[in-house]
Amino acid sequence: MSHWIIAPVILPALLAPLIGFVMRHDKVLSRSASVAGCVALVVIALGLLNMAADGTVHVYRLGDWPAPFGIVLVLDRLSALMVLLTSVLALIVLLHVIGTDWDQRGRHFHALYQFQLMGICGAFLTGDAFNLFVFFEVLLIASYGLMIHGGGQARLRAGLQYVVMNLGGSTLFLFALGTLYAATGTLNIADLAVKVREIPLEDAAILRVAAILLLVVFAIKAALFPVQFWLPGTYANAPAPVAALFAIMTKVGAYAILRFYTVIFGPDVPAIGDMPELWIKIGALITIAVGAFGVLGARRLMPLIAFSVVGSMGTLLLAIAVFTPQSVTAALYYLLHSTFAAAALFLIGDLVTTRRGASADSLLPAPPIANNGLLAAAFFIAAIGMAGMPPISGFLGKLLILDAFQGQAHQAIAWAAILVTSLMVIVGFARAGSLIFWKAEGVVAVDGHGALTETPAPVPVAGPSQPNVGIAFVAIGACLSMLFLLSIFAGPVTSYLTATSAELFDPAAYVDAVLSGGN
Amino acid sequence: MNNASLLPIMALLPFLGALVPGLMIRAGRTACATFTAVPTILALVMLGLCAPDVFRGEVLQIEFEWLPALGLSVSFFLDGLGLLFAGMILFVGLLITLYARFYLSGDDPAGQFFTYLLLFQGAMLGIVLSNNILLLLIFWELTSLSSFLLIGYWTHLPEGRQGARMALTVTGMGGLSMIAGMLILGNIAGSYELTDILAAGDAIKSSDYYLPALLLILGGAFTKSAQFPFHFWLPHAMAAPTPVSAYLHSATMVKAGVFLMARMWPALAGTDAWFYAVGTVGLITMVLGALIALFKDDLKALLAFSTVSHLGLLTMMLGFGTEAAAIGAVFHIINHLTFKAALFMTAGIVDHEAHTRDIKRLGGLRHLMPITFVIAVIAGLSMAGIPLFNGFLSKELMLEEAAHTDWRGSHYAVPILATLGALLSVAYSFRFISHTFFGPVRDDYPAKPHDPNFGMWAAPGLLVVLVLLIGIFPQATVGPLVELAATAVVGHELHHWHDLKIWHGVTPALIMSAIAVLGGLILLALHRPLERLWNAVPRPEAKVIFDHVVGWAVAGSDWIAHKTHNGAISRYLAIFVVSTLALGAIAASGGGLAPATRALLPVPPLAWIGFLLLVVAAIAVVLLHRERFLSLILISIVGLGVSGGFVYLSAPDLALTQISVETVTIMLMLLALHFLPKSTPAESGIFRRVRDGAIALGVGGAVASLTFAFLLRDFSSISEFHLTQSKVGGGGTNVVNVILVDFRGYDTFGEIIVLGIAGLIIYALMHALLDGPAARRLRNWEFTQERSRDRHPMLMVIATRVMLPMTAMVGVYIFLRGHNEPGGGFVAGLIIAIALLMQYMASGFGWAQERQRIEYHAMIGWGVAIAGLTGTAAWLFGKPFLTSSFGYFHIPPIEEFELATAMAFDLGVFLTVLGAVMLMLYSLSRIARYAGETVNTAAMDYDPSQGIRETTEEER
């Protein structure tokens, strides 16, 4: 048993109090510690991925109690991948935060950031449903703090929505777990996988309720219709780098759905059948549409990006909902892609917004900004990534998903939804980009009647004073490179993902590893 | 070395080359253009190396794996068709680079231009070389994107931006449709490799999915090649600089659709569906485009619609599906390229020199711009289809094919319309020449026109030389290439190949041609009256329609998205709750319920009383919730009721925890209420209240029945293990505590962190609030309510002071006994917190704070750290995180006692809980001080030991 499995939880959990209570008065010190923590997390995650890549399921028994009586952590390909994704994203976003001095706009940023990472990693690694609840709480409460970091009226109002909605979700989570325990007498995921398959449909009413309640809980996290309403306001008003980090938070919901509805409530479970598949599909289709409407109709850049995240979550869950190994592979690839694409957009949006001064992120003409060309290029790449245009990974992701639907139920409607909304997203992003980056070239001033005077040779306004903003550009560059890397190494990546989804659909190895006394 | 390995390098070269111009522009435009030409020339040389193999009939192929899970590979091949198109792309690319060097002004960011140009070139080259249709799709979309950048190149021009978006929207739409089509096609053929698909033509055409695949793919081809009704984007793309128009929007990109139809010919062509879809659309486009072109005054618009018309011609030819038509199409692709690119460049020269391209403001340029004039005339005559110019030859082939094409039984429809198209084409070609160059020299040109320098007319000059050479010696110049490419199109040896000739004798085509020329001249003569007529007739304006459609879509989307996401949290929750309820009901109804195995227990009167108390308090909260103070008290009754329930049901640990949590929460909320309005305004109407009431009752009923359902059924659970292992494995007889600190200590670790974070957030939030508008409101806070005059009554101070050590003792006791009896760190932390809270309430924050030596932040930090480090200590013994150990010690004179590592963990819990609660209190008091609350320094209002009645309060 390797103690490294728990390192992604313990490292930030111990680092956070250290930063929060010992280093909080010094900027450089807390930043250094936070970066060091993130770098270490990346290294650990790489090591874990390497451990998991051979297909061995590693189990870590907390307190040395045997499963299902104690809590276990389980490292398999999927959890290793998600932890790696989290750590890489966290490092990139942290660099941006440092480059833009976001951490100085409120208290305890780095401590909350580390706690946030602890919560996310814990949720990915746990092999216990109740422990998942606990880590949901950790990541949620940390995210409440990050969400309202820096304050401001709009942000606090949006933050309240976020908190209220998630408190509702947490309450339901408890109900669902109670119901699940009443139906099966256990909350260990592997044990549940066994027990659930023993319950006949005639006795399954309680179990089915538990399954659907859990689905709603995870749907809130994953922003699936009809519980997606919180996302646009939250992401658009959160500090932009936090919104970028939140790109992984929605994926926690997607991960939980993936884990629970394959290993526990898989398509082969007689008591459940295709119930999750049906409802996720319906929700996902509407979610995709909601996202596309929001992108096309956006009046401000940040909500536009936020709605594009909603749309991408719809696409992701639509792919998951097919519940075949092929579709899950596609979904996982798209998951990796959409995380970085969303993060890149938020980071770019942050620089654009701060540079536009009073115009902020409104989609109205304003004078050109500093680094207009560079930011325009970055926005262009990130936007085609999010819209699913080639050559970067979004296109491959969408192709994989469309391909996974070939010959499956609801192929036509799924294809139509994905393709039509792609067009809406393309148009929405093209409008926003041309307005912010191109139209600005013609704007110098607005006369009394609001008409624009156009001139071909404008003078860019100076950006705000951000001495280290170069680091932020490095962060954006890193985020975009991830999209290119995902695209170039699509072959090796998907072969890992294929193995991952195979593992999910044949949970025997998982169950054996957890329930047997072995390592 | 195998020449096939050159293919990926060719495709990659422009992309690599695209990195250079952005930097080379620093060395000037000439250097920049030269370095843009380098990758093009290199690729052209490589193509030349490959050409002999292709002419020998070989198909060069190379493949690398990329995404095998999808069937996407980096797979290129070069056959006759690919060779033709690649040659055209590179050759024209070279000419355009030269032309653009002189066309762009010093103010234009030329570096960007050449970068975009090379990106486009690479994408286009990729399309024609791809042997994998998914790879082809990637390059296809890349052409849309690079075209978007090029059309919008002059970002300050609204037409440029709008044209760019329109082009992206229309071609993007087509691209998406093509994605679907290609995926279906690949699925039918069982491979995404083009060579496999082309070989599976028969299987494809007989498949049920043939028609959807065909239509979806044609959607891509038609939008790209500006076929009716998607033709409207092309004229608006003319806002791009003229080199772009010449390159993308006449010579190459718009031909991508035609290329695709030609490429897919063996797999898709030859069916009725193909004929009617492709042939008809092509025919309509040809005639319509030519008609509109005749009435356009902008030279580039005229050429744009002429391009639409010629693309229609090509599409129609491919639609005919015959071998001869394929030959004609290939030949016309070459011819159209030569004359149309030359014409665009000519229009650009006129625009560049005369500063206008409005045909109405031009005329008489033949004397002022003789070289340009010659070029324009040669190219224009070719476009009109006059003998000895290459346009004539391919148009003859078209008319010949049209002459014997049957359209739904009609022998005349196609030939007549084709002649009409040719006729209109003659008319606008002559109009282009005569209205621009003939007529009297004017004196009102915006600028004095003159011939440009050599660099600018060299490219069109070379092209018209080709026009003549091909026109006169067709077989010698391009014959073999046409044969080769046409072979590649039809996918087998040509059965009816005749060498290209100028003279075929008097054929129907020649007669149709003659009619076209004569008719065209008549039309031109009648142009003025016709133009008046044309302007009088109302026509749908595509841009207006498009803008409206997009406008509606945007407004509608805006409406939908923002109406539903307007921050109405109560609606969000209502939707969430109702849908959860509905889903739960549906899920439950899908499965059966096992028979109940437990009997209901008798309910003693005490339980009834407790139950009634709960219900009454809960109802009272609902009724009185606007009185916030009152409802807080009522909530605490509910809390106590629940605690009582725990006691009744023999769960002392839960009861203890519940009571302490309840007490602390209510105390903190009471303090917070101080800064909030004391009553809630009535905001929701009767309908809302009834609706929400119904939802609440529904959910309450559902949760109750669910609980009832599982309480009536036995189930086996893992708790058996916990009961038996608590003492022997965990060292404690209180199984609840052992679960908390040992079996599931990891959960507790997480939960104390939650509590610690909550403390931090409240602290951070307090700071954020005190920076915002809330701070201003607080500063102006009026404590209007009637207040007690003794804020710190002596009685309360004395009482709490006496209780402090006692409570602390209870806390320690509860902590220590936790492992074996009800209690533990969590409860102990709360109890100590209550003891301290009471001091603060009695004597005020200022007084208490002075006597507080440990920082709360640190207390939380230590708590988490102690708990965490206790857990990690197990690593030293090779055990997993949080593995506990315990032992029994005997140190006289004390009785034997037990020490467990779990207690250290519990200490961490204790500290975190205490720190978090106190930090919350501290934050509240900060707010209080901000609101102008006075700070007392004495313990109580009246301190008898001082002997004088005095209240020491000082403003802070």
- ipTM of the complex, rounded to two decimals: 0.92
A18, A134, A158 member nearest B751 (Cβ):
A134
Q: How many helices and strands in chain B, by DSSP H and E?
A: 42, 6
Structure tokens at B44: 């052209």
B587 at interface of A, judged by CB pairs closer than 8 A: yes
* Nearest-10 crossing angle of helices B569-589, A205-222: 150
CB B576 to CB A149 under 8 A?
Answer: no
Q: Cα B327 vs. chain centroid, distance in angstroms? A: 43
Question: Smallest CA–CA separation between A94 and chain B, in Å?
Answer: 19
Q: How far is A92 from chain B (nearest CA, A)?
A: 23
For residue B588, which residues of chain A lie inside 8 Å, CB to CB? 205-206, 208-209
Q: Which one of B561, B567, B760 has the shortest CB-CB distance to A157? A: B567
What are the E-state strand segments in B452-561? none
Please list the residues that pair with B629 across neighbouring strands: none
Nearest chain A residue to B177 by CA: give it: A419
Q: Kindly state the average pLDDT of the residues B380-401.
A: 90
Residue type, B121: Q
Dist. CA A383–CA A430, nearest whole Å: 8
B130: three-class secondary structure by DSSP = strand
Closest CA to B907 of B757, B758, B759, B745: B745
Give me the residues of B, 428-447, that contact A with CB < 8 A. none
Residue of A nearest to B112 (CA): A373
Tell whether the model's pLDDT for residue B679 goes beyond 90. Answer: no
Could you say which residues from 221 to 260 on chain B have a Cβ atom under 8 Å away from some Cβ of chain A?
none
Tell me if B760 and A108 make a contact (CB, 8 A cut-off). Answer: yes
Question: How deeply is B698 buried, as exposed, middle or buried, from its count of CB atoms within 10 A (0-12, 13-18, 19+)?
Answer: middle
Is B336 in a helix, a strand, or coil? helix
User: Within an 8 Å CB–CB cutoff, is residue B764 touching chain A?
Assistant: yes
Q: How far is Cα A12 from Cα A15, in angstroms, rounded to an integer?
A: 5
Res. B682 pLDDT band, cuts 50 70 90: confident
556-575 in B: which are within 8 Å (CB) of A? Answer: 556-562, 564-565, 567, 569, 571-573, 575
User: Taking 70 as the threshold, does the pLDDT of residue B786 lie above it?
Assistant: no
Q: Going along A138-277, which residue ranges are E strands? A: none
User: Average pLDDT, stretch B866-883?
Assistant: 87
Say whether B717 and A384 touch across the interface (CB within 8 A): no
Mean pLDDT of B437-447: 86
Taking contacts as CB-CB distances below 8 angstroms, the residues of chain A near B593 are 203, 205-206
**Contacts A139 to B, Cβ<8 Å:** none
The helix (H) or strand (E) run that includes residue B73 is: strand B72-78
Select the highest-mean-pLDDT range: A207-216, B440-449, B832-841: A207-216
Whether chain A has a CB inside 8 Å of the CB on B756: the answer is: yes
What's the pLDDT score for residue B576? Answer: 94
In the predicted model, what is the mean pLDDT of residues B791-815? 87
C-beta of residue B900 within 8 angstroms of C-beta of residue B884: yes
Name which of A236, A241, A227 is nearest A314 in CA terms.
A227
| pLDDT tens digits for range B238-282 | 989 999 999 988 888 899 999 999 999 999 998 999 999 999 999
Residue type for A438, please? W
Ranges of residues in chain A with a pLDDT under 70 are: 1, 441-465, 517-519
- Residue B185 · residue B216 · CB < 8 Å: no
Distance CA B910, CA A497 (A): 44
Model confidence over B720-774: pLDDT tens digits? 888 888 888 877 888 888 888 888 889 999 999 999 999 888 888 888 888 777 7
Q: Which residues are registered as beta bridge partners of B887?
A: B899
Residues of A in contact with B161 (CB under 8 A): 434, 438-439
Q: What is the 3-state secondary structure (H, E, C) of B198-221?
A: HHCHHHHHCCCCHHHHHHHHHHHH
Of B68, B176, B710, the CB nearest to A422: B176
Nearest to B768 among A16, A148, A390 (CB): A148
Omega cis (within 30) before A68: yes
Q: Return the residue in B63, B72, B113, B557 with the most chain A beta carbons within 10 A, the one to mutate for interface testing.
A: B557
**Does the distance separating the beta carbons of A135 and B557 come in below 8 Å?**
no
Taking CB atoms and an 8 Å limit, are B72 and A490 in contact across chains? yes
Q: Categorize the per-residue pLDDT at B859 as very low, low, confident or very high, splitting at 50, 70 and 90.
A: confident
Task: Please state, in angstroms and rounded to a whole number, the distance separating the CA atoms of residues B689 and B375.
Answer: 81
pLDDT score recorded for residue A487: 94
Residues of A in contact with B240 (CB under 8 A): none
Mark yes or no for CB contact A179/B754 under 8 Å.
no
| The pLDDT value given to residue A106 | 84
Would the CB atoms of B70 and A403 count as touching at under 8 Å?
A: yes
Distance CA A127, CA B12 (A): 47
Average pLDDT over residues B418-439: 92
Please name the residues in contact with B355: beta carbons below 8 A apart, sequence gap of 6 or more: B445, B446, B447
For residues B71-79, average pLDDT? 92
Q: In Å, how far is A175's CA from the nearest CA of chain B? A: 8
- A356's tokens: 């536009």
List the beta bridge partners of residue A446: A452
Question: What was the pLDDT predicted at A227?
Answer: 93
Contact assessment for residue B702 and residue B581, using Cβ atoms and an 8 Å cutoff: yes
51-70 in B: which are within 8 Å (CB) of A? Answer: 65-70
Compute the half-sphere exposure of residue B189: CA atoms within 13 Å on the CB side of its CA: 28
Q: Which residues of A touch B562 (CB under 8 A)?
A: 297, 299
Residue B819 near residue B731, CB atoms below 8 Å: yes
Contact assessment for residue B282 and residue B227, using Cβ atoms and an 8 Å cutoff: yes
Q: Hey, is the C-beta of B703 within 8 angstroms of any chain A C-beta?
A: yes
Angle, in degrees to the nearest 10, between helices B901-930 and B745-769 = 10
State pLDDT tens for residues B296-349: 999 999 999 999 999 999 999 999 988 999 999 999 999 999 999 999 999 999
State the Cα–Cα distance between residues A401 and A385, nearest whole angstrom. 15
Most A CBs within 10 A among B116, B569, B912, hence the mutation to make, goes to B569
Residue in chain A nearest B161 by alpha carbon: A434
On chain B, the residues whose CB falls within 8 A of the CB of A212 are 583-584, 586-587
Give the HSE-up count for residue B509: Cα atoms under 13 Å, Cβ half-sphere.
21
Whether the predicted pLDDT of B935 surpasses 70: no
∠ Cα B507 B511 B514 (to 5°): 140
Interchain contact, B141 vs A389, CB within 8 Å: yes
Among A60, A149, A185, the residue with its CB nearest the CB of B718 is A185
Chain A residues inside the 8 Å CB shell of B704: none
Terminal-residue alpha carbon distance, chain A: 5
Residue type for B785, please?
A: Q
Which of B67, B136, B749, B886 would you mutate first to test chain A, the one with the most A CBs within 10 A?
B67
In the block, residue with structure tokens 């980096």 = B74
CB-based contact, B591 to chain A, within 8 Å: yes
Task: Answer whether B699's CB lies under 8 Å from B581's CB.
Answer: yes
Confidence of residue B372 (pLDDT cuts 50, 70, 90): very high
Written in H, E and C, the secondary structure of B927-939 is: HHHHCCCCEECCC
Tokens representing B524 are 């031109």
B587–A275 C-beta distance less than 8 A:
yes
Taking an 8 Å cut-off on Cβ atoms, the answer to whether B576 and A427 are in contact is no
Residue A455 in tokens: 């001139």
Residue type, B229: P
Q: Any idea which of B620-624, B626-630, B815-819 has the lowest mean pLDDT?
A: B815-819
CB contact under 8 Å between A419 and B164, yes or no, is no
User: What is the pLDDT at residue A459?
Assistant: 45
Of A292, A390, A423, the CB nearest to B173: A423
CA–CA distance, B270 with B272 (Å, rounded to integer): 7
CA–CA dist B191, B186 (Å, integer): 5
> Could you identify the residue written with the tokens 């004495």?
B938
- Rounded distance, CA A94 to CA A92, Å? 5
- Whole-angstrom Cα distance, residue A223 to residue A242? 17
Q: What is the DSSP string of A381-427?
A: HHHHHHHT-TTSHHHHHHHHHHHHTTTSTTHHHHHHHHHHHHHHHHH
Q: With an 8 Å Cβ cutoff, are B558 and A299 in contact?
A: yes
Report the alpha-carbon distance of residue B153 to residue B147 in Å, rounded. 9
CA B328/CA B509 separation, integer angstroms: 13
Say yes or no: B731 contacts chain A, CB-CB below 8 A. Answer: no
How many other β-carbons are positioned within 10 Å of the β-carbon of residue B676? 10
C-alpha Rg value of chain B to the nearest Å: 43
A443 near A368, Cβ under 8 Å? Answer: yes
pLDDT of residue B683: 77
**How many whole angstroms separate alpha carbon A256 and alpha carbon A126?**
11
The amino acid occupying position B843 is S
pLDDT score recorded for residue B793? 81
Q: How crowded is residue B164: how many other Cβ atoms within 10 Å of its Cβ?
A: 28
When pLDDT is averaged across residues B605-622 and rounded to a whole number, the result is 91
Q: Cβ neighbours of residue A500 under 8 Å, at least 6 residues apart? A: A76, A77, A78, A81, A328, A329, A332
- Residue pair B715/A184 in contact (Cβ under 8 Å)? The answer is yes
Whether pLDDT at B601 is above 90? no
pLDDT of residue B286: 95
Whether the pLDDT of residue B952 is over 60: the answer is no
What percent of chain B has pLDDT above 70? 96
pLDDT band at B20 (very low <50, low <70, confident <90, very high): confident
Radius of gyration of chain A (CA): 23
Conformational region of residue A427, where left means phi above 0, alpha means psi within -120 to 50, and beta covers everything else: alpha
By C-alpha distance, which of B449, B314, B303 is closest to B379?
Answer: B303
Instruction: Give the separation between CA B313 and CA B395, rounded to whole angstroms.
Output: 9
Instruction: Please tell me which residue of chain A has the smallest CA distance to B138.
Output: A390
Residues of B in Cβ contact (< 8 Å) with A208? 587-588, 590-591
B583:A168 CB<8 A: no
Query: How confident is the model at residue B517, as a pLDDT?
Result: 92
Mean pLDDT for all residues in chain B: 88
Residues of A in contact with B762 (CB under 8 A): none
Nearest by Cα to B299 from B255, B379, B374, B356: B356
Chain B, window 300-339: residues with a beta carbon less than 8 angstroms from a chain A beta carbon: none
